[in-house]
Amino acid sequence: MKTFVLTAVVLLVTLLGPASAGGGDDKDIYPRWSVVGAWSVTHPYWTDVLTFFDNGTFSATDETNSGRWTLTAQSGTPLLVLRWDRWGTESLMMVEQKHFRGQVSPGSFMDMRRGEAAGAQ
């Protein structure tokens, strides 16, 4: 019986992390990817930096263009949906971890890049 309980605790700690075993703080020790932060955007009609906030909002550099964002998935691929306050809705699929791309119109695309990848357009 003792072996079973010890094995169950080890398995629980392995799956959920050490903080869930009790006695530790509840801080997430595993790194998580997030869309939050600054992204360089190239659109067929404009270029700017969009900043995404953890409260589900985003804004452009001039702060006059803003909206709400949602990160979901389509066929297992992350999909970022931008709901602009003054414009329509645009959707961008993740190409790689630091790059999203969405079709604005036939043959026209919006690219969003983060970090060093932002200059490599």
Does 51 reside within a domain? Answer: yes
Does 31 reside within a domain? Answer: no
Expressed as residue numbers, the domain containing 7 is 1-26
Q: Say yes or no: 68 and 21 in one domain.
A: no
Residues 21/9, Cβ–Cβ less than 8 Å: yes
pLDDT in tens, 28-76: 666 678 899 999 999 999 999 999 999 999 999 987 899 999 999 989 8
Q: Is 87 a residue whose pLDDT tops 70?
A: yes
Q: Say yes or no: 12 and 66 in one domain.
A: no
CA end-to-end distance (rounded Å), the chain:
60
Does 103 reside within a domain? Answer: yes
Q: Say yes or no: 59 and 4 in one domain.
A: no
Residues 105-110, mean pLDDT to the nearest whole number: 94
Instruction: Name the domain count of the chain.
Output: 2
Does 32 reside within a domain? Answer: no
Q: Say yes or no: 56 and 5 in one domain.
A: no
